[in-house]
Amino acid sequence: MQHINELVGKLYQSEPTAQQTKRLEHNHSPEFLKGVLTSLTKMGLIHSPDRDLYQIWAANLSDLSEAQIKFGLIRSRDFTGFFNLPAFRDLCKIRPEDIGLPNVKQAYVEACMAASPKAKHKWSHPAVYHAGKATSWFELSTFPEDQIFTRFKAFYAEMCDRVMKGERLDAPVMDALPEKVSVVLTPEQNEQRMADLRGSLGI
């Protein structure tokens, strides 16, 4: 399993900065976008960018994370077709399998089959756990597939989208033990308790 920022960092032979990792609003800095356009120019894919071109690309890439744009830049190195802005956006699309995410059917089966406690299961990716939790573990274990799969699929798609845009999902954590442990009453104590309750109610 490989996080998208780690994958991009490895391909660039450098680690992504903390600022790049946390930037999920996609307000790319001018320096970053200029660097992207300069690289595309050196590859011979676009003409030297002017102010108008920069503004067009900035506006049309604002919904993509820096990790996605860098991924597109990497793929541009081997691009052989007609290159333009829509083509570059297609190159920026990161597939789930590129970063170790299972396909939705595999994720669904894993979520349904995982034993409790769920946090102790060795998940193929945290996205599967979070999608299962959002769907409801009870419903996944009791509802037929034709009733619950669509709901799981929607939550899993959301989790995958967050991961592919650079967000790092937290791994599941076991709930802490309660500070106070309830005392288990003996049958005799339970019987006396019920008798006291009936007496207080006049039954």
pLDDT, residue 193, reads: 63
pLDDT of residue 27 exceeding 70, the answer is no
On the question of pLDDT at 10 being above 60, the answer is: no
The residues spanned by each domain of the chain are 4-94, 96-203
Q: What percent of the chain has pLDDT over 70?
A: 74
Mean pLDDT over 64-92 rounds to 93
pTM over 0.85: no
Distance in angstroms (rounded) separating the CA atoms of residues 155 and 159:
6
Q: The tokens of 154 are what?
A: 């929607």
Q: What is the mean pLDDT of residues 143-149?
A: 95
> 12 pLDDT band (50/70/90 cuts)?
very low
Whole-angstrom distance, CA of residue 32 vs CA of residue 20? 10
- HSE-CB for 147 with a 13 A CA cutoff: 7
For residues 19-33, give the mean pLDDT. 62
